[in-house]
Structure 1
Amino acid sequence: MLDGLKLFLTILEKGGLSAAGRELGLSPASVSERLAALEAHYGVTLLTRTTRSLRLTEEGRVLAEGARRLLAESEELESRIRLGVDKLSGPVRLSAPVDLGHQRLVPVLDRFLAEHPEVSVDLDLTDGVVDLVSQGMDFAVRYGALPDSGLKSRPLGHNRRVVCASPAYLQAHGTPQHPDDLIHHDCIVMRFGVHSDRAWTFHLNGQPHTVTVKGRRVANQGQLVRQWCLSGHGLCRKSVWDVQADLDSGRLVEVLPEFASEHSAVQIVYAATRVQPRRVRALMDRIAEAFAPGTTGPTQA
C-alpha cells in the first residue's frame, strides 16, 4: 500500500504516468496498472486523464493529502528506529523566490545540510506561486499576505520594497522627485503568473498613493529584473533584501525614499493538513532564526 501511495504522489509531482515511470524505473504500462489497482482498492477515480493533462478528482485530492501525512509519519518512524531520535534524515522539498533563495536561503541550507548529513534538500526557486499540495512541497517562503486558503503561515518579518535605478540611468534620464514622475520613466516590471506588477504604491501625506507604471521590459524572474536595472535599462521595484548589496556598493541608487513604499510580509507557508517530519520542522526553525532581528540574515526593515 505504501508503494502504491508513493507511486500516486510521484505521478502528481511529475505531471504524468510516463514521467513517474521514468523516475521510478517502471514502464508506462506498469504505472497504469498500479494506478488502476489503487483506484480499484478505494473504489473511486483518483485522476481524470486527457491527452495533455492530469487532474485530481476530489477523492484524489483527499488521498494525496492523507498519503503525504502517512508517508511522512512512516519516514519519521523509520528514521527514529534506524538512526535514533537525535538524528535527522530524509528529504525536504521547499520553494522560494529566486533572489531571496540565492542570497538568503542557500547559505542557511548549506549549513543545515553540513550539520545533518542524512538530510537532502530539493529547492525550487521560482517567483511564481507553487501549489504546495499538488507538487509535494513541504513548505515555501513567500512575500505578501497569506490569502484565504488551506495553508498555515509562520511569520518571518516584514520587508520594505524600494524603487531604484543605476547611476547611469539616472544621469541619462533624471531622478524622479515625486511618485507621479514615474509615468515619464522606463520602469522594469515584474510579472507574477499572468499578473504584471504595474501598480506601485507609495505613501503621500499619510495616504496610499498608487502609480501605474509602464516600461519596455517585463519579466517573471526577479533576478532578471535586477540585472536589467543594473544594466541601466530602467527603474525597478525590488525587495530591499534583494538589492541591499547593490545599494551599499553604489551600483544602484534608491529613489523616492521619502515616500516610503509599502512593506510586505515574509513568511513560511505550509499545508494545514500535512504532518511535518522533524527534519522539516528543524529546517523551518533554522530559517526563522536566520531571519530574526539581530542576526546576519534578513532583518525587519
Structure 2
Amino acid sequence: MIEQGIDIAIRASDRLEDSSLISRKLFSDTGLTIASPGYLAKHGTPLNPQELSQHDIISYSYAKNPKRWVYEDLEGKECVVDIDSRIIVNSAQMELEMCKAGLGITRLPRFYLGNELETGELIELFSDYPKHQLGAYMVYPSRKHMSAKVRAFKELVEKTLTRNE
C-alpha cells in the first residue's frame, strides 16, 4: 500500500496478515459459493466442495491462496479443495459479472451481492455446509501524517460501515 501511495484500503478476509499496517474491523460477513442457473443447467450442480475440481472456476487473483478454497464439512472438519481456475480476475465486480454470465462457479463475500440470490439470478451452492466467515477491514499505513481528507474519509467509513457484533 505504501509503495503504491494508497491511503486506505478495504479488505475482506478470514484473517489479515500481520504487518506494520493498522487495521480496523468494520463488520463480519460470510463467503458464499455461487453459480448461475444457466451454468448449472449446462454443467451440473456439484453436491459437495470436492466436486468443484470437475467444474469451471472463477477465482480472485488477490485472494491469499486463489488455488485453494477451504470449507468446513458437515462433521465440522476442514475440507481443503485445490482449485484449477478457468478464469482468474483482479476485480470482485468482474468475478460477479462473469459468474452471472454463466462462465463458472465463484466464491464471494455476501456483501458483494445485491438481490441475485433472492431473484434466482444466482444460486448458492453447499448451503447446508457451515458458512465461511469473513471480516471486512479498513487498512491504512499510519494515523500519523494523515491528511484531513483521508481522516474524514476514514471517519465516514467507520461511521457508515462499522456494525456492532
Equivalent in 203, 212, 220 of residue 72 of structure 2: 203
Provide runs of 4+ in structure 1 moved above 6 Å: none
Q: Distance in 2 between matches of 1:273 and 1:281?
A: 8
Aligned pair count reads 163
Identical columns (%): 28
Q: Distance in 2 between matches of 1:278 and 1:215?
A: 42
Which structure dedicates a bigger proportion of its chain to strand? 2
1:121-153: CA deviation from partner (whole Å, max 9, x where unpaired): xxxxxxxxxx2x233332211122332221111
Q: Distance in 2 between matches of 1:192 and 1:167?
A: 27
**Shift, 1:170, TM fit:** 1.1
Equivalent in 138, 142, 159 of residue 7 of structure 2: 138
Structure 2's unaligned 5+ residue stretches are none
For 2:24, what is the secondary structure of its paired residue? strand
Equivalent in 41, 44, 49 of residue 171 of structure 1: 41
Q: Distance in 1 between matches of 2:52 and 2:5?
A: 41
**Shift, 1:196, TM fit:** 5.7
> Does the aligned pair in 1 maintain the 2:26–2:163 contact within 8 Å?
no
Larger Rg: 1
Matched, 1:154 2:29: no
Q: Distance in 2 between matches of 1:249 and 1:167?
A: 11
Q: Which residue of 1 aligns with 2:162?
A: 292
> Does the aligned pair in 1 maintain the 2:25–2:162 contact within 8 Å?
no
Matches within 5 A, 1:252-291: 252-272=122-142, 274-291=144-161
**Shift, 1:261, TM fit:** 4.0
For 1:272, what is the secondary structure of its paired residue? coil
For 2:114, what is the secondary structure of its paired residue? helix
Q: Judging changes above 3 Å, is the alpha-carbon distance between structure 1 residues 240 and 275 closer, same or farther for their aligned structure 2 residues?
A: same
Q: Which residue of 1 aligns with 2:118?
A: 248
C-alpha RMSD of the superposition: 2.2
Q: Distance in 2 between matches of 1:220 and 1:244?
A: 20
Matched, 1:191 2:61: yes
TM-score, length of structure 1 as denominator length = 0.49
Which structure dedicates a bigger proportion of its chain to helix? 1
> Does the aligned pair in 2 maintain the 1:151–1:272 contact within 8 Å?
yes
TM-score, length of structure 2 as denominator length = 0.86
